[in-house]
Structure 1
Amino acid sequence: MARFSAILLALLSTQASLVWSAESSKASRQHVPGAYIFEFEDGKDTAGVLRTISHEGTTRMNLDYKLFKGVSVQLDDVENAEEKAFKIASSPSVKNMWPVEVYSIPEPKVHWVGTPDTSSAAGGLSKRSNETEGYAPHRMTQIDELHKKGFTGKGVKIAVIDSGIDYKHPDLGGCFGEGCLTTFGTDFVGDHYNGFNTPKPDEDPMDCQGHGTHVAGIIAAQKNAYGFLGGAPDATIGAYRVFGCDGQTGNDVLIAAFNQAFEDGADIITASIGGPSGWADEPWSRAVSAIVDQGVPCTVSAGNDGALGMFFGSTAAGGRGVAAIASFDNAVSPTLLSLSEFTVDGGKAQDFGYTAASPAAWDGVELPLWAPDLDTSVPDGGCEPYPADTPDLSEHIVLIRRGTCTYVQKAQNAANFGAKYIVIYNNKPGTVEYDASSVPGIEAAAMVTSEVGERWIKLLKDGSDVTLSVTGPETAETQLISPVNEVTGGALSYYTSWGPSWDLEEIKPSFGAPGGDILSTYPTAKGSYAVLSGTSMACPLVAAAYALVSQVRGTLDPREILHVLSADSKPQVFNDGAAFYQYLAPVPQQGGGLMQVSDAAYATTLLEPSSLSFGDTATFHNVLNFTLTNAGDEEVSYDISHVPALSMYTLEADSIYPARFPNEPIAGASARLSFSESKISVAAGESVFVEVMPRAPSGLNAKRLPVWSGWVAINGSDGSSLSVPYQGVTGNLYEHKVLAADSAWVTRADDDTLRPVPVNTTFTLPVPGSGGGEGTSLPAVVAYLALGSTTVRADIVPLTITKDTPRTTDFFGTKTIGQPDGFPLRYVGRNTNSGPWDGRLDSGNFAPPGTYKFVVRALRIRGDPRKEEDWDVAESGAFTVKYE
C-alpha cells in the first residue's frame, strides 16, 4: 500500500507501565437524585402514566420526539424516588426507565486565551510570524484542497450540541437567526443549570462558558486577522445549548438536544461531549444511533482519557454507526504572545513575547534575570530546593526551565528566597498558561518559548546582564507565532481515548482529525480567541469535513461518508508523547487514521463496512468480508494486502487492571490475514465481496488481553490507495474479573482522592427527611472496576441487628437492607464509581443507625445476570452510621 511504503514496522522493546492511583483515574458516574427518564411504547396510550408523573413530580424534559417518546421527571419524594419510579415504569405504556446521569463539560487543555479586548475587528493582532502558507489543520487533512475548489459547506446545516455559541463574535457572524451564520437552535437549560437542578430553557443559546464557541469557530469561523478559517465557513450553524455557565448536563438534556436538532432539519449533528462507558446500548448512545439510522450523520468526540490505556470508550461515541473521533496533534503550535522588551548589558532594547500566567501583575516590572540553573537540557529545572547561599531574589525575575515537577513547586522554591516574579521557558514548542497564584509572595508569572529562554540562559552563562522591561498583558501589543511541532506534530494526541468497545462490534474510534493546539474563536467577554487541545477540537473539524464531502459527492448518507473518510484516512506511526517510532499506532488508538478529506470526497472505490472487528477468542469470527465497489467509469485492478499495526497488551503483567499509556508492545507479534482474492479486476459499476480470514499472533499471553490490529490495504490501478482497519483480541473477556475482591471500600464523599476510611469509622448523617447535611461528610461507596460492566450492585449488609433493622434476602442469598439510592449502576466503564450516601435506600426508607458493610457486585462482560457465578464480588470494611 502506497501510504505505508516508507514505514518500517520495527517493534519497541517492553516499557514499564505506570501504577494506577484513584486520584488520577477518578471518573465517577453520578445520578441526579430522584430524577428518571421514562421512554414510552410507541403507539400506547400514555395519558394515565402522564397523570401519575405529574402528580409525583416535575417534568425536567418533555421528550416528545419522532424517534424518542418519553419524559424525564424530577420526583418530589426523593426519599422514596426509586420505589415510585419502578411503579411508574410498571405501566404497560412505559418501554424503558433510566436514572438521569450527568456528564461534565469537557475540559480541554488551555494553552492560551486572549484578553477581553482582543478583537480581530479592532485589529488586536499587532504582529504575526512568517508561518507556512495556509492553516495547518486544513493542510493536514486536505480541507484546504477542497476550499480551493470552491467547496465551503454552503447550504449544509450543522447542529452543535454544546455550551452554546457566542454568535455576537465578529468571526461567527455577529447575530443569531435568519440571515446569520448561526441561524437556528435553542437553549435547553439556562445560565444557572448545573446538571442536578431543573433546566430553565429559553430561546437564546448564548455561550457563557466558552467551549461551544471554540467548537463553532473550528466549523465555520470567518476570515480574521489570526489567519484561521472554519472548515465549512459557508455552512449554517445550529446552537443547541446543553450546559449552564458552570456544572454538568443530564443525559435527558442530551437526548432532547439531539432529537430536537434532528427535527429542526440539521444535516449533521456534532457533540464534543462524553463520559466513560464503551457500551453501545447505553441510553444516550442508543438515541444518537437512532438518528444516524434515519440518515443524519452524528460525530462525537472519542474522549480525553488516553492516559488510562485501552478499553476506555466514551458515550455516545460508542453508539452504532456514530463517528467516534480521535485527536491528532497540530503540525504547529499557534501561540499568542504579549510583547515586551529586554536589554543585554544595557544595550539596545529588543522585543520578546510571553504568555501571561496567573498571577499576572507584570505592567511596569523592570528587573534583571536570575536563573537557578544554566543548563538548558536539565529535565527538572527549579524542582530542587535552592542552595543556602542563593541571593535575595526579590529584585530579580527568576528564569526556570519547564519540566518534571509542578509549576507551583517551581514557584515555591523561588519564593522561598523572596522571588516575586518568575518566567518559565518551555521545553516544547510554543507556550502555555499555568497557575502559580497559590504560592505566597508570587506577584506575576509567565512563560516564554524554548528559543527565547535558551538564548537568555546562554547570555547569563556568558556573564551578561539581561534585564526585562515588561508591559502587562492588558495593554501589550500581541504577536501570533506558529512554531513547528517537531515532537508530536501529526501524531495521535497522548490524551485521545482508546478503544475497543466492550461488545467488540465496531472499531472505535472511527478515525481522527487535528485536535491538539487548535486556534479558534472564544467568547468576546473571555478574550475572543484561544488555543485549546482535546478531542473536542478534532470532532467539529470532522463535522465540517462531512459538509464538504457531502457537497462533492451529493449525498449526506452517514454510512457512505463514514466509509469513504475511514477508507481514505492515513494511518500514522506511534508516538509516546516524546518521540516517533517506526511502526504504526494501533487501530484502537487511531481507527482508520488521520482523515484525508479531498481523497474521500472524490473516491470512486467504495469499501463497506468501514472496519472489521474479529472479536475475542470466545466470539472469534473466522471470516469476515467487505464489499469493494468500483463507482468509476472504467475497470480497475486491485491488489489486496495486509499491513499490521503494533500489538499491545491491555493488562499489566500479573494484574487484572489495564496498563496506563503507553501500553506494553509485543515484539514481533502481528496477525496474519489471508484473502479470498488478493488480485481482482472490477468493472465500472460492479461490486465484489472479499473474504478476510485472520490468524491471531502466536505466543501471546491471553491472560493480559493482547489486542492485535492493522489494515487491509487496497491499491488500485487507477492510483487509489485505501484501507480497512481491523482488530482482534486474544483471550476471553468473559473470563476476566471486572471487580477484584478488595476493590470496594468506603470513603468520604468530599474526598476527591477517594481514600478508604479506617475500618469502623463512624459517620454522622443528617436527620432523615430534614434536607440537611450541608457541611456533613457523608460516606460513599467506591467500586473500582478493572473492566466495564452492564450492571453494578451495592447491597448494604447490617453487621448489627436490632428490631428496627429491615432485612431481605436478595437474589444471591445475601441478608441486606437494600441498596443505596441510585444503585444499581448501568453500562459503566472501567473506572472508579462512587456516590454519596445519606442513609436513603432504594426502597425509599432510611437505614437505621448501626454498623454496616457494602457488598458490591459487578456483572462480567457477556455475563448472565441470572447466574451468580457471572458476578464478581467485593466487600467494604465495616462502618457505622448515626443520625444527628
Structure 2
Amino acid sequence: MRCLWILSALAWVAKAAAQDITDDDSPKIEAHRFIIEFASGTHAKTKRDELSSTGIRVLEAFDSPLFSGASLETNNHTLESLLILPDIVAVWPNMQAYLIAPVKRQVAVDPTATAAHAVHWATGVDELHQQGVRGQGVKVGIVDTGVWYKHTALGAGFGPGFKVAGGWDLVGDGWVVGAEKKPDADPADEQGHGTHVAGILAGEDVSSGWVGVAPDASLYSYKVFGPGDGTDQATIIDAFLRAYEDGMDVITASIGGRGGFASNAWAVVASRIAAEGVVVTIGAGNSGNGGAYYASTGSSGEHVLSVASAEVKRDEVTGGGILRPSYFTSWGGLYDLSVKPDVAAPGTDVFSTWPGGDDNEFVLLSGTSMATPYVAGVAALYISKHGGRSVHGKGFARDLSMRIISTGASLPWLLYSGDADEAYRAPSQQVGGGLVDAAKVVGYRTSLELTRFGLNDTANFRANQGALVRNGGNETVRYSFEVERWAGVEMLKAFDGRDPGETPRIKYRAEIVPSNISARVTVPEEFVLGPGEERRAEFIFEAPEGVNQTALPAYGGRLLVKSNNGETVSVPYQGLAFNLQEQMESPFHGTYPWLRSTSAYSNKTTFNFELASGIQDFPMMFMKVKWGTREVRWDIYGSDFDEARDWEYPPVSGQRGYIGAATSWASAGKTSSFNPARHNASDTFSFPETDVARNALTTGGFTTAYYWFGKLGDGSVMAPGNYTMRFAVLLPFADPQLSESWKGLTTKFTVLPKIGNSTINRRGFW
C-alpha cells in the first residue's frame, strides 16, 4: 500500500483551505436555463415537443414517476412566464452546484500507520464488523466525480461481480458546466473526490487491515463532474433519478453550495426519492466559519439526511478518545427554521482511497464530503442486517433516518481555538443528533417515529411535539423521559459605530460563545410497553424567558427516552427565542442595497447601457442580507409607478404599468468587472431570483452583485425613456401578495440613447 499527498492533484483542496467567510460561495445561476416540472398526467414527450416548437431548447428530459419534466434553455422567458404555460406546475432556475471541497489538515501519511487514522472504534462500526455485518447485498449509489475503480482497495474492476458494480457517466470526460454533455457507460474518476468517498463507504485493503464502513456493499458510480469542481442541479437530478431507477438502497452525494431552503429543485427531487424508501445522505457543507443558519442546498431536502462532520481521534497521551465537532462543518438550521443538520460522522483527517499510477494510493482529507458517505455506509449496514424498502415499504428511509438521528452521541462545544469545552454540548444546529453510532442503529430494539422537532420562533412557536415510542424487542420495557439542554447562542453581532457599514449581522464562528438559553419542557410520565407495543409520548415546550430578543438567541437540545434495558434514544430540537420577522424587518446589512454605475457616481439614475470599455454605463445593484430570502426581485415599471396602487404579485407585463423583469449578468460578483472582449453579454439570468442565502457575514465579506445590461427577461431591450425600478427582497414568513412584505429600493431612472445612437457590442448580442 502506497500512501501520499498529491499536491498538484489536490489544487481544489488547497483552494478550499484558503477559502474563508469572505468568499462568495453562492451557486451561480446558469444563464437562460431552467428546470420545469409537468403536471401529473401530462404526456411528457408531447409537452417537450410542444415547447421545442416555440423555440425553447430542451436540454434534458426527466421521465420518472417521481419527477416528470425537463431542463430548458430559453432567451425569452422568466420563471413566471414559464410557470403560466399550460401543464407546467413548477419552475426553478438551473443552479450550479459544487463539490463540497475538502479542507486540508495534514500533508503526509505514514504508510504503516493506518491504525492511527482509524475511527470505527468510536462509531460502533467495529462492533458490527466483528458480528459479520458488512453491508452484504446492499446497493449504494455515489453521485460524485466518478470512482477510480481500478484501485485495489475498490475491487480493481468495474461491472457485475466487482465492488463497483455499475453506474453511468452523465457528462463525459473533460466536461465543463454549460458545455454539451457526452454521457457514456464508464464513470471513471477524473479528480479523486469520488474515489475517496467510495473508499470511506466500502473500501478494503487486506494487507494493512484498513476497511471502509460497509466493505461488502455494491457501489454504483454516477459521475456528474468533469475535471472541474462545478456541475448543475439538472445533471444531479438526472443522476439521482437514474440511481433510483437502478434500484439503489442508498444514494449519497457530497455536493452542495450555499442554500438553506428545502424548495430548490435538487432538494425536492432528493426528498421525493427518500419518501419512496431510499436513504439519501448529502453533506451539510464546509462553511462553518459563516456561523449559524448557513446551510447547504441538496441537504436541505425534507426527508434527506444532512450530514455534519466530527473530529474523531485517539488521545496520544491518555489513549482515550477525542470527539468533537469539526471546525469547518456548516451550521443549520434552514431559513424557514426547519431542523438541519441531522447527524454527524467522522470527517476530519479521514484516510481513504485515491487514484494513482499504481492503483494503490491513499490520502487524508477532511470535510463533510468524508462524513456523508460514512453515514451512507451505516445505512447500508442496517439494510444488510434487517432489509430495506423492499421489506419495510416506502416509509423505510424515514424510519431508518430517525434511528440514525435518535441514536447519536452528543459532542462537546468546540472553542474557536480548536479545544473542546465540556461544560457545554454542541448545539443541534451544528451537529444534529450528534455522532452516529452504527451499533445502536442496527442493534437497538427501541425506536421512535416522529417528525423533526423544529420549534420555530416565538411568533410561530410549536409548543406541542410528539413521538411514537415503539418496543421492538421480546421483553416488557419501562420508559422514562429527560431533557438534555445543549448550548444556546446569541447570533447577532450588534451595531458597532466603528464599523457602521458592516453591522449589525449574524455572528461568524469566531464571535460565537455558548450560553445557557433553554426552553422549559414538560415530559410524559413513565410508561411500560410490552413486546411489539407502541405509545405516543407528548412533549410540551415553553419558549425561553428572560432573553434579549434583539440579540437573536437560538437554543436547542434533545429529549432522552430512557429504558430499563439500557437503551437510550433521543430527539434533538431547536428553535429561536425571538420573532424572526420582527427582528428582520430591516433585512439588509448596513446601508444596502446600493445602486451604482460603472461611472464614479453613486445612486446614479441615468444610463445608456453602453458596454464598450471606457464608456460603460449600466446599473449595478449591490446587496447584503442578514437572513435568507425566498425571493429577490428587480422589476421595471413606467415612470408613474405607485407602490400602493400598482403592486400585485406576481406582476404581469402590460398591467399596472409593469414593463418586465430586469436581468443580471450571471458572472456579476464572480469576477471584478465586465470585459466585452472576454465576456459574453448574453450570459444573463432573469429575475426573480429564488432561495437566496444570507451573505452579510463580516467586514470585507462578499456582496451579491447584479449587473443589468438593459435586456428584460422576455429578451426585449429597454428603449430610451423614463421608468421606475423596484428592487426588493421578501421578508421571512411574509405574504408576497402584500406590498409591505417586501423591502428594498424603488427609484425613478432614465434610459438615454447610446452614444452616437450606436449598437456597440463586440460579440454581436444586441
Same fold (TM over 0.5): yes
Distance in 1 between the 2:48 and 2:273 partners?
A: 25
Instruction: Tell me the residue number matched to 1:860.
Output: 731
Please tell me the residue identity of whatever aligns with 1:826.
T
Helix, strand or coil: the match of 2:561?
strand
Alignment of 1:827 onto 2:667: no
Please tell me the residue identity of whatever aligns with 1:512.
A
Helix, strand or coil: the match of 2:162?
coil
Instruction: Tell me the residue number matched to 1:26.
Output: 24
| 1:529-568 alignment runs, 5 A limit | 529-556=362-389, 557-568=396-407
Please tell me the residue identity of whatever aligns with 2:408.
S
Distance in 2 between the 1:529 and 1:799 partners?
A: 64
Question: Which residue, 35, 51, 57 being the options, matches 1:53?
Answer: 51
TM-score after normalising by structure 2: 0.81
Distance in 2 between the 1:518 and 1:234 partners?
A: 20
Call closer, same or farther: CA 1:842–1:485 in 2, change over 3 Å: farther
Question: Which residue, 411, 417, 423 being the options, matches 1:572?
Answer: 411
Instruction: Tell me the residue number matched to 1:92.
Output: 86
Call closer, same or farther: CA 1:760–1:544 in 2, change over 3 Å: same
Question: Which residue, 355, 358, 361 being the options, matches 1:523?
Answer: 355
Instruction: Tell me the residue number matched to 2:699.
Output: none
Helix, strand or coil: the match of 2:506?
coil
Residues 27-80 of structure 1, C-alpha deviations (whole Å, 9 max, x = no match): 3342211212221112124455322332314332111112111111223xx3x3
Helix, strand or coil: the match of 1:787?
coil
| 1:278-427 alignment runs, 5 A limit | 278-331=260-313
How far residue 780 of structure 1 moved from its aligned partner, in angstroms, is: 4.9
How far residue 90 of structure 1 moved from its aligned partner, in angstroms, is: 3.4
Question: Which residues of structure 1 form unaligned runs of 5+?
Answer: 1-20, 115-124, 333-481, 750-754, 802-807
Instruction: Tell me the residue number matched to 1:453.
Output: none
Question: Which residue, 502, 505, 508 being the options, matches 1:657?
Answer: 505
Number of aligned residue pairs: give it. 681
How far residue 311 of structure 1 moved from its aligned partner, in angstroms, is: 1.1
How far residue 554 of structure 1 moved from its aligned partner, in angstroms, is: 3.2
Alignment of 1:615 onto 2:486: no
Question: Which residue, 424, 428, 443 being the options, matches 1:587?
Answer: 428
Question: Which residue, 870, 873, 876 being the options, matches 2:741?
Answer: 870
Please tell me the residue identity of whatever aligns with 1:565.
I
Distance in 2 between the 1:625 and 1:184 partners?
A: 42
Residues 195-234 of structure 1, C-alpha deviations (whole Å, 9 max, x = no match): 2233322222111122111111111112155653211111
How far residue 286 of structure 1 moved from its aligned partner, in angstroms, is: 1.1
Question: Which residue, 203, 208, 220 being the options, matches 1:238?
Answer: 220
User: Which stretch of structure 1 is more off in the superposition, 873-882 or 182-191?
Assistant: 873-882
Instruction: Tell me the residue number matched to 1:510.
Output: 342
Please tell me the residue identity of whatever aligns with 2:542.
R
Instruction: Tell me the residue number matched to 2:112.
Output: 128
How far residue 613 of structure 1 moved from its aligned partner, in angstroms, is: 1.7
Identity %: 31
Instruction: Tell me the residue number matched to 1:464.
Output: none
Instruction: Tell me the residue number matched to 1:62.
Output: 61
Distance in 2 between the 1:486 and 1:93 partners?
A: 63
Question: Which residue, 124, 128, 144 being the options, matches 1:162?
Answer: 144
Helix, strand or coil: the match of 1:110?
coil
Distance in 1 between the 2:523 and 2:340 partners?
A: 24
| 1:428-447 alignment runs, 5 A limit | none
Instruction: Tell me the residue number matched to 1:786.
Output: 626
How far residue 758 of structure 1 moved from its aligned partner, in angstroms, is: 5.4
Question: Which residue, 36, 39, 49 being the options, matches 1:38?
Answer: 36
Distance in 2 between the 1:698 and 1:249 partners?
A: 46
Call closer, same or farther: CA 1:215–1:633 in 2, change over 3 Å: same
Instruction: Tell me the residue number matched to 1:9.
Output: none
How far residue 689 of structure 1 moved from its aligned partner, in angstroms, is: 1.6
Question: Which residue, 722, 741, 750 being the options, matches 2:569?
Answer: 722
Residues 558-615 of structure 1, C-alpha deviations (whole Å, 9 max, x = no match): 1221122212110011012422111111111111100111012111111122642222
Question: Which residue, 619, 625, 634 being the options, matches 2:466?
Answer: 625
How far residue 701 of structure 1 moved from its aligned partner, in angstroms, is: 1.4
Please tell me the residue identity of whatever aligns with 2:690.
R
Call closer, same or farther: CA 1:130–1:156 in 2, change over 3 Å: closer
How much is the aligned-residue C-alpha RMSD, in angstroms? 3.6
Distance in 1 between the 2:626 and 2:57 partners?
A: 38
Distance in 2 between the 1:774 and 1:49 partners?
A: 46
CA contact (8 A) 2:172 2:226 kept: yes
Distance in 2 between the 1:200 and 1:777 partners?
A: 40
Call closer, same or farther: CA 1:660–1:849 in 2, change over 3 Å: farther
Distance in 2 between the 1:777 and 1:237 partners?
A: 54
Question: Which residues of structure 2 form unaligned runs of 5+?
Answer: 1-18, 390-395, 496-502, 664-684, 696-702, 761-766
| 1:661-810 alignment runs, 5 A limit | 661-662=509-510, 664-665=512-513, 667-677=515-525, 679-735=526-582, 736-737=584-585, 738-740=587-589, 742-745=591-594, 760=604, 780-795=620-635
How far residue 131 of structure 1 moved from its aligned partner, in angstroms, is: 4.9
Call closer, same or farther: CA 1:644–1:617 in 2, change over 3 Å: same
Question: Which residue, 192, 200, 203 being the options, matches 2:174?
Answer: 192
Alignment of 1:642 onto 2:624: no
Distance in 2 between the 1:497 and 1:843 partners?
A: 38
How far residue 663 of structure 1 moved from its aligned partner, in angstroms, is: 5.2
CA contact (8 A) 2:139 2:219 kept: yes
Call closer, same or farther: CA 1:817–1:726 in 2, change over 3 Å: closer
Distance in 2 between the 1:221 and 1:777 partners?
A: 57
User: Which stretch of structure 1 is more off in the superposition, 523-532 or 302-311?
Assistant: 523-532
How far residue 650 of structure 1 moved from its aligned partner, in angstroms, is: 2.2
Please tell me the residue identity of whatever aligns with 2:527.
I
Distance in 2 between the 1:146 and 1:574 partners?
A: 29
How far residue 551 of structure 1 moved from its aligned partner, in angstroms, is: 2.2
Please tell me the residue identity of whatever aligns with 2:459.
A
Distance in 2 between the 1:773 and 1:527 partners?
A: 53
CA contact (8 A) 1:700 1:706 kept: yes
CA contact (8 A) 2:35 2:265 kept: no
Instruction: Tell me the residue number matched to 2:100.
Output: 106
Distance in 1 between the 2:740 and 2:173 partners?
A: 48
Distance in 1 between the 2:640 and 2:41 partners?
A: 51
Helix, strand or coil: the match of 1:607?
strand
Instruction: Tell me the residue number matched to 2:698.
Output: none
Distance in 1 between the 2:508 and 2:114 partners?
A: 39
Alignment of 1:153 onto 2:135: yes
Call closer, same or farther: CA 1:140–1:875 in 2, change over 3 Å: farther
Distance in 2 between the 1:613 and 1:701 partners?
A: 21
Call closer, same or farther: CA 1:533–1:126 in 2, change over 3 Å: closer
Helix, strand or coil: the match of 1:847?
coil
Call closer, same or farther: CA 1:585–1:171 in 2, change over 3 Å: same
CA contact (8 A) 1:759 1:879 kept: no
How far residue 795 of structure 1 moved from its aligned partner, in angstroms, is: 3.1
How far residue 836 of structure 1 moved from its aligned partner, in angstroms, is: 4.6
Distance in 2 between the 1:775 and 1:791 partners?
A: 33
CA contact (8 A) 2:213 2:378 kept: yes
Residues 636-690 of structure 1, C-alpha deviations (whole Å, 9 max, x = no match): 122211111111112223455211114544644322211131x222222111221
Alignment of 1:606 onto 2:447: yes
CA contact (8 A) 1:487 1:577 kept: no
Residues 712-732 of structure 1, C-alpha deviations (whole Å, 9 max, x = no match): 112211111222111221112
